């Protein structure tokens, strides 16, 4: 299912790639009162196509009417040269617009999007998914507990290591003091092992 969604998403992004620059310009015209003529619903859908094309197409009605309305307005703006695009970008955008509006290029992809989105919803609501989420949550909690235990063990280990080194140092100092005291009182050198 995820593979189908990924492939479908790539195909949508490829189809939307050519008009993406014009989409951005239309969006800017609409937001800054430049006469793009988009309705609020169309503007919301345009934002969605730019941000999450799979979700945008999957939530469209059959025949993707909002996208077609946006494309028709985009086509009008291209014809009127209000978007100020480079000729190559304008040509590619016009070709894609023609394919989408006149050849129904996205019909098959739209159907697959709707199916993939429906399967995804079914999967996310399934009992198996709930079990997986529950297990994942339990594993995360267990992982956090283990991290805390690890930190406690490492801290305890550091305290023990410090105490061990401190004890060794005190033993060495005591040995030296005894050796020095024996030498001072007996004038005899000894070495404590």
How far is residue 154's CA from residue 102's CA, in Å, rounded to a whole number? Answer: 68
3-state helix, strand, coil in the chain (%, to 5): 80, 0, 20
Model confidence at 166, pLDDT cuts 50, 70, 90, reads very high
Query: pLDDT-based confidence at 147, cuts 50/70/90?
Result: very high
CB 42 within 8 A of CB 72: no
pLDDT of residue 5: 54
More confident: 113 or 148: 148
Instruction: Tell me the per-residue pLDDT of 79-114, one tens digit each, with 9 for 90 and over.
Output: 777 777 788 877 887 887 777 777 777 778 888 888
More confident site: 171 or 107:
171
Task: Select from 34, 36, 41 the least CA-distant residue to 23.
Answer: 36
pLDDT at position 1, please? Answer: 44
Could you tell me which residues come within 8 angstroms of residue 76 by beta carbon, excluding any fewer than 6 positions away?
A: 37
Range among 22-26, 87-91, 169-173 with highest mean pLDDT value: 169-173
Whose tokens are 């995820």? That residue is 2
* Region of poorest pLDDT, from 61-75, 80-94, 176-190: 80-94
Instruction: Give me the helix-helix angle, 65-79 and 87-102, nearest 10°.
Output: 140
Domain boundaries, the chain: 2-125
Q: Which of 12-21, 25-34, 121-130 has the highest mean pLDDT?
A: 121-130
Mean pLDDT of the chain: 81
CB 112 within 8 A of CB 127: no
């Amino acid at each position: 299912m995820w593979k189908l969604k990924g492939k479908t998403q790539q195909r949508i992004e490829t189809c939307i790639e050519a008009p993406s620059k014009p989409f951005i310009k239309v969006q800017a015209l609409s937001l800054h009162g430049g006469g793009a003529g988009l309705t609020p619903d169309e503007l919301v859908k345009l934002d969605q196509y730019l941000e999450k094309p799979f979700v945008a197409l999957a939530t469209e009605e059959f025949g993707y009417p909002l996208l077609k309305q946006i494309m028709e307005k985009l086509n009008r703006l291209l014809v009127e040269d209000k978007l100020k695009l480079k000729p190559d970008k304008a040509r590619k955008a016009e070709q894609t617009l023609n394919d989408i509006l006149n050849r129904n290029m996205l019909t098959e992809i739209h159907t697959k999007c709707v199916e993939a989105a429906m399967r995804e919803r079914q999967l996310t609501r399934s009992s198996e998914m709930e079990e997986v989420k529950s297990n994942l949550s339990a594993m995360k909690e267990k992982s956090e507990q283990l991290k805390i235990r690890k930190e406690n063990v490492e801290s305890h280990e550091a305290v023990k290591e410090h105490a061990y080194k401190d004890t060794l140092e005190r033993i060495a100092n005591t040995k030296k003091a005894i050796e020095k005291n024996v030498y001072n009182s007996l004038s005899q050198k000894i070495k404590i092992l």
